[in-house]
Amino acid sequence: MDITPQISVDAKVIQSYGSGGFLIGNEAYRQPVFVLPDRVILWTAPPLAKLSAADFDAIAHEDPPVEVMLFGCPGGMLVPSQLRADLKALGLSIDAMDTGAACRTYNVLLSESRKVAVALWL
């Protein structure tokens, strides 16, 4: 029995990441991005310490809604409780982690056909 996950050819798989940016679906990105199964959204985000729920508006109203919201940044980060609460009010439960872990977790959830999104910070 073949148990290899079937990922759509058009799916936005994260192929690599580094200090210079990300390779997603064979396209290079050199700035923060939101990655969803069907598209990449360029993200003009403020410094990490000034993030607010409004900075996540680009993915807050997805239909169907995002099931799992990942946030990856170098070294990981604790999401301030107020930001976590504000995002929860928008229907986003955020899980912050190191960039590499966020990329790997996103790809695994994508392979499981989950409605996942990841915010990637350089």
Domains of the chain: 14-120 (3.40.1230.10)
The answer to whether residue 1 scores a pLDDT higher than 60 is no
Per-residue pLDDT at 84:
92
The answer to whether residue 2 scores a pLDDT higher than 50 is no
More confident residue, 45 or 59: 59
**DSSP 3-state assignment of 93?**
coil
Per-residue pLDDT at 95:
92
Per-residue pLDDT at 3:
44
Closest CA to 79 of 65, 92, 60: 92
| pTM for the full predicted model | 0.90
